[in-house]
Amino acid sequence: MSVSTLLVLPAGPANAATERVCAGDDNVPQGFVKVNDYWDPTRCGNPSSIFPNVWVIESYTDKAVGDEMVVCSGWRPAGWSTLNSFWDPTRCGNPGPITNNMWSIKRLV
């Protein structure tokens, strides 16, 4: 799936500038971070094995200084700081073992 064929959902409080892309760093456009992932057997290669083949990404460029986001660990853009990390078994890989798979981040500049 190319970046030009992203599914864009309407911006709003619950999903401000949220998009779905096939898993892979090359599919994330500039200004977006990964906030979740999931398996969809009907998209992105139609995998029969359960693994997160679709990424949910969210724009960070539309956030004001002081705004916070919750992102998948490892997805902190420049100008943001990590406030804390935590485990969410329902997001970002759905890890069974307790591992800090999420970061709460804050925009500094």
Structure tokens that stand for 85 in this block: 């990390």
Give per-residue pLDDT as tens, 23-59.
999 999 999 999 999 999 999 999 999 999 999 999 9
Distance between CA 92 and CA 48 in Å, rounded? 19
Q: What is the pLDDT of residues 51-89, one digit of tens each?
A: 999 999 999 999 999 999 999 999 999 999 999 999 999
The range of the structural domain enclosing residue 27 comes to 3-107
CA–CA separation, 105 vs 9, rounded Å?
A: 23
Q: What global pTM score does this model have?
A: 0.84
* Residue pLDDT, tens place only, 89-109: 999 999 989 999 999 999 999
- Phi/psi at 35 (nearest 5 deg)? -120, -10
pLDDT for the residue 1:
39
Q: Which amino acid is at 26?
A: D
Structural domain count of the chain: 1
